[in-house]
Structure 1
Amino acid sequence: MRAGLPAATVADLYRAACLAELDALKPGNVHAYASGHRMVTADFVTSADVSAPLLAAPGARVGARVRGGVEATIAAVGQNTNLGILLLCAPLARAAEAGGTLAEGLSTVLSEFDASDAADVFAAIRRANPGGLGKAARHDVTETASVPSLSEAMAEAAPRDRIARAYTDGFRDLFAIGLPALAMARGRGLVAPWTTTAVHLAYLTTVPDSHIARKHGAERAEAVRAEAATRLAGLDLAEQPVAALLDYDSALKADGLNPGTSADFTVATLFLDALLAARDERI
């Protein structure tokens, strides 16, 4: 049976994925080419450093990893920079500790949530206080969790949030959008950070961004997705089109549009890819 990864390795791979995402030009997000949304790359570097040990805490449940990472981040940088990243990466980190394949481990993790996971994740979301959170008729995260498991709460939020949906569909977007985009970029001879940009653009142009939807509505999120698909069609990343991407980056930021969920999924894709490589697995 394939052995699980030690916590130190998981933490290092998580940190590396966070930093690699920052190196890539991702329209509308904070990255090495431009800051935005009252945040700078240094905030995210610090967040990766302080959250890594909590994210990779050996034996910790998913909820505890998310809550610990958020609390460490808020204490260090004073704002939410990585809630979505932690929500996506915590199940992957827990799965990476187990023997067998990573896919088998992830399936087990997603089936074993209990009330403590829900309580910790609800507390983490309240602490992070992400923009556009609003109110929900049931299982509202601004209140103490009263659901029997995190799975039930995520299922309730899944129709309006891609990260919640990931908890209900086995992280399908990572396997159907992220990893194929990364493999295709590498197959075309792209190197980092442009392979990372390719992953981000795959999410941005394929699915409406949940962060934009929370703050500006589902219709605006779909409009941004469609505009991105049209505007970026035919763009050759092999030519490293910095000017064209920065122009779009400026336009999104001028309109207050931050495709943060696309960035979160990009980090999770890089993390998943690194975990698979470290475990010598292929999907």
Structure 2
Amino acid sequence: MSLTREHIRRAYIDACYQEIEALKPGNVHVFADGHRMNAQQFFDSAQVSSDPLSDPANSVGQRILAAVAATRLKVQTNTNLGILLLCAPLARAAANRTSDVQLSLAATLAQLDMNDARDVFAAITLAQPGGLGSAPEHDVANEPDVPLLEAMRAASERDMIARQYVTNFSDIFTGGLSAHGAAIAHNEPGMWPSVFVYLYFLSNFPDSHIIRKHGMPIAEETRLAAEKILARTMEMQDGREREKLLLAFDAQLKAQDINPGTSADLTVATLFASRLIWLLHNGEVNA
């Protein structure tokens, strides 16, 4: 079984669109702008980054750098660095002739080298993510001195995206996909499976982007608040009442300039992985 470049490109765009169409408290979505960004910038970013992200001729690092460059040219800001860091390895893995995306992903991650590190360091520098600061080792402002996987390992204790690289995306393939599957099993319509994936990450892990900008106490405070919001949302049956609750939390977080960007990035990656898995096991696609 294998997927074409167009299958992968469309799956990526669909995942990005589903995430931005979901009401994700504190993050940008179609219900409300935030952090000097709007939903259209994210839709545009998904489109222009989809070709380099799915280019079978390029390595993981080349895909990330080219996609960041295309995004900067289109929207002049960082809308998707974390998304690209997570989705590029998934896109490359999905192109292999296998029905097991995570198994193929493990092989893809194991092959990351110094060239990938150089390209990813360059991409991060180009994207200029908020709150990045400096790192005690393997700082992206410097030339990398280790392969990409080793650099990610050094950052994995403080960054959830780096952690995925050294755990074979375990938080996505276990927690994220489980939250998505549970929502589907409960017949949650429309945006709600995406919302529940986002709330899963926000309520289970201090968000790395919040930690970088505001520190661990604020990130943990946000996580605890998200736990309560998730429990209340799950208890509610009326979609409009759910929306009111989430919009109030959204306004509260944005008033404090709190953006759970990493939780949003992990949501896109989960939706992308879910779509890839579905495509690989769909008889019509692979006929």
TM interval, shorter chain, is: over 0.9
Please, which moves more after superposition, 79-88 or 210-219?
210-219
Aligned residues: 278
Give the AA of the match of 1:107: A
Give the AA of the match of 2:270: T
Q: Does residue 1:132 correspond to 2:107, yes or no?
A: no
Correspondences of 1:212-251 after superposition (within 5 Å): 212-236=210-234, 238-240=237-239, 241-251=242-252
Give the Å deviation of 1:238.
Answer: 3.9
Match of 1:267 in 2: 268
Give the Å deviation of 1:234.
Answer: 2.6
Judged with a 3 Å threshold, the aligned counterparts in structure 2 of structure 1 residues 277 and 229 are, in CA distance, closer, same or farther, namely same
Q: Distance in 2 between matches of 1:223 and 1:17?
A: 28
Give the AA of the match of 1:108: A
Give the AA of the match of 1:155: R
Correspondences of 1:1-283 after superposition (within 5 Å): 3-100=1-98, 101-147=100-146, 149-236=147-234, 238-240=237-239, 241-280=242-281
Unmatched segments (≥5 aa) in structure 2: 283-287
Normalising by structure 2, we get a TM-score of 0.95
On the 8 A contact 1:66/1:90 being kept in 2, the answer is yes
Q: Distance in 2 between matches of 1:31 and 1:201?
A: 14
Residues 165-201 of structure 1: CA deviation (Å, up to 9, x unaligned): 0000010110121100001001111012111111111
Q: Distance in 1 between matches of 2:87 and 2:253?
A: 26
Q: CA RMSD in A?
A: 1.1
On the 8 A contact 2:229/2:246 being kept in 1, the answer is no
On the 8 A contact 1:59/1:94 being kept in 2, the answer is no
On the 8 A contact 1:190/1:238 being kept in 2, the answer is no
Give the Å deviation of 1:230.
Answer: 2.4
Normalising by structure 1, we get a TM-score of 0.96
Give the AA of the match of 1:173: D
On the 8 A contact 1:200/1:263 being kept in 2, the answer is yes
Match of 2:285 in 1: none
Q: Distance in 1 between matches of 2:237 and 2:183?
A: 9
Give the Å deviation of 1:4.
Answer: 2.0
Residue aligned with 1:235, SS: helix
Give the AA of the match of 1:273: S
Residues 235-278 of structure 1: CA deviation (Å, up to 9, x unaligned): 23642211110000000000000000000011001100000000
